[in-house]
Structures are given as structure tokens and as C-alpha cells.
Chain A
Amino acid sequence: SQQGEEDPQALSIQEGENATMNCSYKTSINNLQWYRQNSGRGLVHLILIRSNEREKHSGRLRVTLDTSKKSSSLLITASRAADTASYFCATDRQGAQKLVFGQGTRLTINP
């Protein structure tokens, strides 16, 4: 069963705009990660944020984590057509090796 739920399920924006995706989860976590999946391909790791961190940046990506609300957001700034993909959050719990993925957000960047 899925741990996380992404919101929105689908998002379509113009190139150059910012894209924000949200993820909620149910149980306490150790880390939260975001992955990108292009159509017909495997997932690619984007960024990891630990449970004791609140915000993290990597290039055009900004991730926030609110453990009190059990939620995270991924912001992609100055979007490009190449950012078109599905984005998934994934969580792991202390002592557990497996990552549990959410349902994903399908992002479309229109040129």
C-alpha cells in the first residue's frame, strides 16, 4: 500500500513558471526523498531531506519538510520543457530498508 499521497495528481504550467508539488505521508519517517520518472524510464533520485531538516536546496529544486503535518513540498523554479515528468515522494522509516512511494504528480511544462 502507498505511504504517501501527492497533490496535485497532475499539473500543467508554462515554461518559466514555478511548479509546486505536495506530498503527505502517514507514519513517522527517517528520510523523505523525491524522484523523477520520465515516460517509460526508471526513477531518478532528485533530493533527500532528513526528518530533522526543514528545508533543502539543490539547483532549481527546493524541498521543505513539516514533520508535524507529515507533509513535504517540492518546488521547481524557472521550469523547463525537460522538467516534464512524473514526480514521486518516497519515505523510509527508522530501521527499515525499503522506500515507500506515493502515487506521483504528473507535471507537464508547456513551451
Chain B
Amino acid sequence: GAGVSQSPRYKVAKRGQDVALRCDPISGHVSLFWYQQALGQGPEFLTYFQNEAQLDKSGLPSDRFFAERPEGSVSTLKIQRTQQEDSAVYLCASSRPSPEKLFFGSGTQLSVL
């Protein structure tokens, strides 16, 4: 597609449920990033992939968060045993090898009840 696609657009989960968020980056973009954005705040870095390799996962808040990009294209962010504090918008972005310009998806808004 022409842009970064994220699904689902909205996700409501009960506390303790596992969720999986999908990101389809722009074709040919080597780099893929996940960010978490709380209401009224700036995006906070979660993790970064170059092709299929996860080169930086320093922003993942706990071991309940797991991300993968097995074939170097589509990526999935999985959150296990969701908690209320996980409620946020999860943004995916892709770029060419350098981080000079990120292309963002519209995000997945996760609400944990």
C-alpha cells in the first residue's frame, strides 16, 4: 500500500487478556519502529527492527510486551496479560535505513477495562 497500515484501529480488552497489534510498513522500508502514546503526551519509543532483526527493545516496559517481524516486513506487537496502564495508542512507523524521516500509521487505540 501507499502508507503504513495498522490493525485493528481500536481494541478493547479485558484486564488479563492477551492482544496482538499488527503493522504493515511501507514496501521496501528496512526500519520499523513501535511507539506508545499516552493521551496528551508525545510518543514513547518501544522497539526497533532493521529487517527481521530486533536491534533495540530498550523501551518495552515489561516482559509482557513482545514484538516480532519474522520476514522483515509485517510486524506484530503482542501484549500479554494486559493491565489498565497499557491503555494507550500504539503507533508503528517505518523508514529507509536511516531515521531521517519516519512514516507513521494511524495507530491502534488500546483500551484495557
Contacts and interface: CB of A to CB of B under 8 A. Distances in A.
Contacts of A101: 35, 42-44
B41 A45 contact: no
Given A43-B102, A43-B104, A99 B45 contact: yes
Interface in A48-74: 48
A40 B106 CA distance: 7
A48 B33 contact: no
A103 B37 CA distance: 10
A51 B11 CA distance: 40
Given A97-B50, A98-B99, A2 B107 contact: no
Given A48-B101, A98-B33, A99-B102, A43 B43 contact: yes
B4 interface: yes
Contact of A103 (B31, B33, B41, B55): B41
A7 interface: no
Contacts of B42: 2, 4, 88, 101-104
B91 interface: yes
Contacts of A2: 41-42, 44
Interface in A69-111: 88, 92, 97-104
Contacts of A44: 104
B106 A41 contact: yes
Contact of B99 (A4, A43, A99, A104): A99
Contacts of A98: 33, 45, 48, 56, 59, 99
3 nearest A-B pairs in the assembled complex, by CB-CB distance: A42-B104, A101-B42, A43-B104
Interface of A: 1-2, 4, 31, 33, 35, 40-45, 48, 88, 92, 97-104
Interface of B: 4, 31, 33, 35, 41-45, 48, 50, 55-56, 59, 91, 93, 98-107
Given A42-B105, A101-B44, 7 more contacts: A31-B99, A43-B91, A48-B100, A92-B99, A97-B48, A97-B56, A104-B42
